[in-house]
Amino acid sequence: MYRFAIMPGDGIGPEIVREGMKSLEAASEIFGFKYEAIDMPYGTDHYLDTGVILPDGVFDELRQMDAIFLGAIGDPRVETGLIERHIIAGVRFTLDLYINLRPIQLYAEHLCPLKGISTSDIDFTFVRENTEGAYAQLHGFFKKGTADEISTQQMLYTRKGVERTIRYAFDLCKKRNKKNRLTLVDKANALRSHDIWTRTFEEVAKEYPDIETDHAYVDACGMWMLKNPNWFDVIVTTNLFGDILSDIGAMLQGGLGIAAGGNIHPGQVSMFEPIHGSAPKYAGKNVANPLATILSAGLMLDHVGESEAALAIERTVQELLASGKVPDLSARSGLKTDQIGDMVVEELRASQEARA
């Protein structure tokens, strides 16, 4: 019996999570695992109603879970980033979810905005460091609102944080066994604090002689992702660069509507969420594409050890996109959020019946 905390969050969060839950339910029936869903109604509405973002003791409760399934956080009614910092960053930091795993995979050629690309050309994954860097919340204002205002934000890297991220990336690269190439992306030429990434990467690489090591500065990486995406296999990078590059990666797959992610501490409770935001302008309209959330449920199942169910979910999404049944990933595809969720469930069941 798995225990999943379900946090729909803000904006389109509740409607996409509802569809993710349908796939989870179907997968549990097909693959014979059981789970308990523990509702966690945190987000902006909850905050505005109660004055509390996350209640005391919530992290003790979360530590009892096998995983957390999050929709999206962010709402223009409150101070920019307030709820995101407490919930998304709060969970990442407090539960020490030091890996942000963001796979970039093209499921159907027509979804890619680049010319002359086949599905096999876009198959890589980001390993984004998830608890340090520019996100460490070391910032301040001085003389705020005056002509002499100063604003600072420090990025910080620890040997422990950098090393465990790089190790995870090498292990993942080995496990994928595709191109066996790990690219370190940093900006060590301009930001000398990134020297810790250069050195640690070189040291850890010695333990993985079968993995080809590669390096790109972040600006060049952005360029290469568009020019030659089939070069990449696994990319390991800092928190901020991973944030930016993974949105570009999402567009290579066809859009944010398909891009799934996991905030992971190997072997411990981890959090799974689409990489897109709460899209307030589409909230409640039943038009947001739930596939990124459904794929995130797949990543969650993989994390808890239900790898067969995870693969089935991914194959199902692939089939719906490749066949054109889900023609595109935008909110203007003509398909409703719940229709796409139902199609996934139907296809999941059909493909399992065909196999049986």
Cβ-based neighbours of 344, under 8 Å, separated by 6 or more: 19, 22, 23, 26, 290, 291, 294, 313, 316, 317, 320
Please indicate whether residue 219 is annotated as part of the active site.
Answer: yes
Instruction: List the single partner that 287 binds among ligand IPM, Mn ion, none, CB under 5 to 8 Å by kind.
Output: none
String marking each residue 137-166 x if it binds ligand IPM according to CB under 6 A: ------------------------------
Q: Which of 160, 178, 195, 219 is catalytic?
A: 219
When the beta carbons of 84 and 306 are compared against ligand IPM, the nearer one is 84
Please state, in angstroms and rounded to a whole number, the distance separating the CA atoms of residues 150 and 148: 7
Please state, in angstroms and rounded to a whole number, the distance separating the CA atoms of residues 265 and 314: 22
How many residues touch ligand IPM under the rule CB under 6 A: the total is 5
243 binds Mn ion (CB under 5 A): yes
Please indicate whether residue 49 is annotated as part of the active site.
Answer: no
Q: CB of 275 within 8 A of CB of 256?
A: yes
Q: Which of 22, 168, 187, 208 is catalytic?
A: 187
CA-based nearest residue to 87, from 48, 138, 47: 47
When the beta carbons of 88 and 345 are compared against ligand IPM, the nearer one is 88
Pick the stretch among 64-72, 148-156, 235-243, 299-307 that binds Mn ion (CB under 5 A): 235-243
Please state, in angstroms and rounded to a whole number, the distance separating the CA atoms of residues 114 and 211: 28
Please state, in angstroms and rounded to a whole number, the distance separating the CA atoms of residues 176 and 144: 49
When the beta carbons of 19 and 84 are compared against ligand IPM, the nearer one is 84
Task: Name which position in 243, 302, 306, 314 contacts ligand IPM (CB under 6 A).
Answer: 243
Footprint (CB under 6 A) of ligand IPM, residues 263-282: 275
Task: Name which position in 7, 40, 88, 251 contacts ligand IPM (CB under 6 A).
Answer: 88
Q: Are strands 181-186 and 234-237 parallel, antiparallel or unpaired?
A: parallel
CA-based nearest residue to 297, from 14, 96, 11, 19: 19
84 binds ligand IPM (CB under 6 A): yes
Angle value at C-alpha 286, between 245 and 244, nearest 5 degrees: 10
Residue 47 — φ and ψ, nearest 5°?
-65, -45
Q: Which of 42, 98, 135, 217 is catalytic?
A: 135
User: Minimum distance from CB of 261 to Mn ion (Å)?
Assistant: 9
Please state, in angstroms and rounded to a whole number, the distance separating the CA atoms of residues 107 and 298: 15
User: Minimum distance from CB of 92 to ligand IPM (Å)?
Assistant: 8
What amino acid positions are annotated as catalytic residues?
A: 135, 187, 219, 243, 247
Binding site for ligand IPM (CB under 6 A): 74, 84, 88, 243, 275
Binding site for Mn ion (CB under 5 A): 243
